[in-house]
């Protein structure tokens, strides 16, 4: 009986923990709100960035990030 109750409690806790995690979109919005990203005009579209770099004869600085949870 105690094992069943403990297993049920763990399953319920895991389900609650999954529900409280922010979505990938919410995490992306948070990441893009980072103060250092506002110090320069960043583009999030690769093709647009490539076209802008070619038009200005500039290199592209890529900032790649991932959200792990």
Using one digit for the tens of pLDDT, what is the confidence trace for 49-60?
A: 999 999 999 999
- Residue 44 is predicted with a pLDDT of 82
SS3 6: helix
- Residue 20 is predicted with a pLDDT of 81
Using one digit for the tens of pLDDT, what is the confidence trace for 2-48?
A: 455 445 455 555 555 556 888 888 888 888 888 877 888 888 899 99
Bigger pLDDT: 68 vs 48: 48
- Residue 5 is predicted with a pLDDT of 47
* Residue 5 neighbours by CB distance under 10 Å: 9
């Amino acid at each position: 009986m105690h094992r069943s109750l403990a297993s049920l409690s763990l399953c319920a806790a895991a389900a609650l923990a999954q529900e409280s995690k922010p979505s990938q979109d919410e995490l992306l919005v948070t990441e893009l709100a980072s103060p250092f990203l506002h110090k320069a005009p960043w583009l999030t579209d690769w093709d647009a960035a490539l076209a802008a770099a070619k038009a200005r004869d500039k290199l592209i600085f890529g900032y790649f990030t991932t959200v792990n949870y």
